[in-house]
């Protein structure tokens, strides 16, 4: 089962991804995590993308598509995988369709976490406060100004994926405003409908 997760920053994709990994035994492929890993490791790609990530803009389609294409070759992706944060543009979605078609595979379902935009900045403030209370580091792009930039980028460049996947009859909207467990239950219901 190949699952794509859509939703603005702060919608709870990471939290729900952890639940899906556990319940369905498929790995989570987060391009944000992979890019931050490359930055931390100081690889050539990491050096190229650090300033872009910190600004809240998107890294080039070619860089992220290459990272995903390599990652999905790994054995743990054979039963399926969950894409979290990719695709982020229509061009990336087309690249994904093309790379999967070469392997005679396809995206099975796209889960869109629907949330009130106004609630997201409040959630961000809570997340920052909780991280600080725990003494955990806060992501450099999780300050209010960059977060608002990321929300704008989502609306302009990523939201067009909603009609893209609607046209493929793959889009399932899930109300992301409930409690974590209620949202998980709704996602599981959608995945169970299509699970083969």
- Among the listed residues 110, 116, 114, 115, the one whose alpha carbon sits nearest the alpha carbon of residue 190: 110
Residue 59: count of CB within 10 angstroms of its CB:
19
Task: Give the Cβ contact number of residue 84 at 10 Å.
Answer: 23
**Footprint (CB under 6 A) of ligand AMP, residues 29-58:** 31-32, 35, 52-53, 56-58
**Residue 160 or 189 with smaller CB distance to ligand AMP:** 160
Residues in 58-77 at the binding interface with ligand AMP, rule: CB under 6 A: 58-59, 64
* 8 A C-beta contact, residue 96 and residue 65: yes
* Binding residue for ligand AMP, selected from 7, 8, 12, 85, defined by CB under 6 A: 85
Number of residues that bind ligand AMP (CB under 6 A): 17
> Does residue 86 touch ligand AMP according to CB under 6 A?
yes
In Å, how far are 92, 148, 165, 187, 190 from 193, measured between CA atoms?
26, 35, 17, 10, 5
Minimal distance, residue 119 CB to ligand AMP, in Å:
17
Residue 195 C-beta: closest distance to ligand AMP, Å: 25
β-partners of residue 81 are 2
Binding mask 87-116 vs ligand AMP (x if CB under 6 A, - otherwise)? -x---x------------------------
Residue 148 annotated to the active site: no
| CA proximity to 82, closest of 74, 73, 90, 72 | 72
Shortest Å distance, C-beta 117 to ligand AMP = 16
Q: Which residues touch 3 (CB under 8 Å, ≥6 apart)?
A: 20, 26, 80, 81, 82, 83, 107, 108, 109, 110, 111, 191
Active-site option among 105, 139, 149, 170: 139
Residue of 127, 148, 149, 190 marked active site = 127
Which residue, 26 or 161, has its beta carbon nearer to ligand AMP? Answer: 161
Our answer to whether residue 129 is catalytic in this structure is no
* Beta partners for residue 110, in sequence order: 4, 171
Q: Supply the residues annotated as catalytic.
A: 13, 88, 127, 139, 150
Residues that bind ligand AMP (CB under 6 A): 9, 31-32, 35, 52-53, 56-59, 64, 85-86, 88, 92, 141, 150
């Amino acid at each position: 089962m190949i699952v794509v997760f859509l939703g603005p920053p702060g919608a709870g994709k990471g939290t729900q991804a952890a639940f899906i990994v556990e319940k369905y035994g498929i790995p989570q492929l987060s391009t944000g995590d992979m890019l931050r890993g490359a930055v931390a490791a100081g690889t050539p790609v990491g050096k190229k993308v650090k300033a872009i990530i910190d600004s809240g803009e998107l890294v080039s389609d070619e860089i992220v598509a290459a990272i995903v294409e390599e990652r999905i070759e790994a054995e743990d992706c054979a039963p399926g995988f969950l894409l979290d944060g990719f695709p982020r543009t229509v061009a990336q979605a087309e690249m994904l369709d093309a790379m999967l078609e070469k392997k005679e595979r396809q995206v099975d379902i796209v889960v869109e976490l629907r949330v009130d935009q106004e609630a997201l900045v409040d959630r961000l403030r809570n997340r920052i406060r909780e991280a600080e209370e725990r003494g955990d580091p806060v992501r450099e792009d999780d300050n209010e100004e960059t977060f608002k930039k990321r929300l704008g980028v989502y609306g302009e460049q990523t939201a067009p994926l909603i009609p893209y996947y609607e046209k493929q009859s793959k889009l399932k909207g899930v109300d992301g405003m409930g409690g974590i467990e209620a949202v998980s239950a709704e996602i599981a219901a959608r995945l169970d409908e299509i699970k083969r």
